[in-house]
């Protein structure tokens, strides 16, 4: 079946549109709406502030953020996302071809419990994946600005909890200035 038929049938998976392109599904809209509702309700979604001005991270979370910015500890994991592999793939595959890597991760993050866990394991990876997903939603052949705004809100929830210096120190292709630029383009 074609990607458009799958989308029309409401199948909750990322479906390839053509080589190197991915199309968000209705489940992704539901996640975005759910995440926006949680944001409006003031729930943190697991995004802990590392700047000392908001929710204090546990010692383990702080140690992971300050000493494993590139999430190398997740290498080879069978439980959760192998963020080290995702990061290396983002460096070796130009955007938007990297959607082949980003799409399945975003699909996985549709489950709130999974998003919460991965945000604790690798907040910079979550930020990078959300950044490139929003960029894709805005720059694809058929832009989806409504969904991009929802995911931008989710991206903001995570990135605003990080000090800009930490975002710049992490080796994830997404620096603070790029986030500000994407936000300004909305």
CA dist 29 and 93 (Å) reads 26
Radius of gyration (C-alpha) of the chain in whole angstroms:
16
Helix (H, G, I), strand (E, B) or coil at 175: coil
* Segment 18-41, tens digit of pLDDT: 334 455 665 555 555 555 444 444
- The dihedral through the CA atoms of 153, 154, 160, 166 has a sign that is negative
Helix (H, G, I), strand (E, B) or coil at 50: coil
Nearest Cα to 105, choosing from 123, 118, 120? Answer: 118
By residue count, the chain amounts to 186
pTM: 0.69
Q: What band does 86 get if pLDDT is binned at 50, 70 and 90?
A: very high
CA dist 106 and 6 (Å) reads 18
CA dist 39 and 152 (Å) reads 12
Q: Where do runs of H (alpha helix) occur along the chain?
A: 3-8, 26-41, 59-67, 83-92, 99-108, 112-121, 123-139, 145-159, 164-169, 176-184
Q: What band does 6 get if pLDDT is binned at 50, 70 and 90?
A: very low
CA dist 183 and 186 (Å) reads 5
Does position 15 have pLDDT exceeding 50, yes or no?
no
Average pLDDT over residues 129-144: 94
Average pLDDT over residues 64-91: 92
């Amino acid at each position: 079946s074609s990607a458009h038929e799958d989308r029309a049938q409401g199948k909750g998976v990322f479906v390839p549109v053509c080589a190197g392109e991915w199309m968000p599904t209705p489940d992704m809209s539901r996640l975005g709406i759910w995440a926006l509702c949680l944001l409006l309700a003031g729930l943190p979604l697991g995004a802990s502030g590392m700047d000392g001005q908001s929710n204090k991270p546990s010692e383990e979370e702080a140690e992971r953020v300050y000493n494993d910015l590139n999430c190398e500890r997740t290498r080879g994991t069978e439980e959760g996302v192998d963020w080290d592999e995702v990061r290396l793939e983002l460096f070796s595959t130009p955007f938007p071809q990297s959607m082949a890597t980003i799409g399945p991760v975003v699909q996985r993050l549709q489950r709130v419990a999974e998003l919460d866990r991965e945000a604790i394991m690798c907040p910079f990876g979550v930020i990078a994946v959300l950044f490139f997903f929003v960029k894709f939603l805005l720059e694809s052949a058929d832009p989806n600005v409504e969904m991009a705004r929802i995911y931008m809100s989710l991206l903001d929830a995570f990135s605003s909890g990080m000090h800009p210096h930490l975002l710049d120190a992490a080796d994830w292709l997404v620096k603070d200035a790029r986030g500000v630029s994407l936000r300004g383009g909305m």
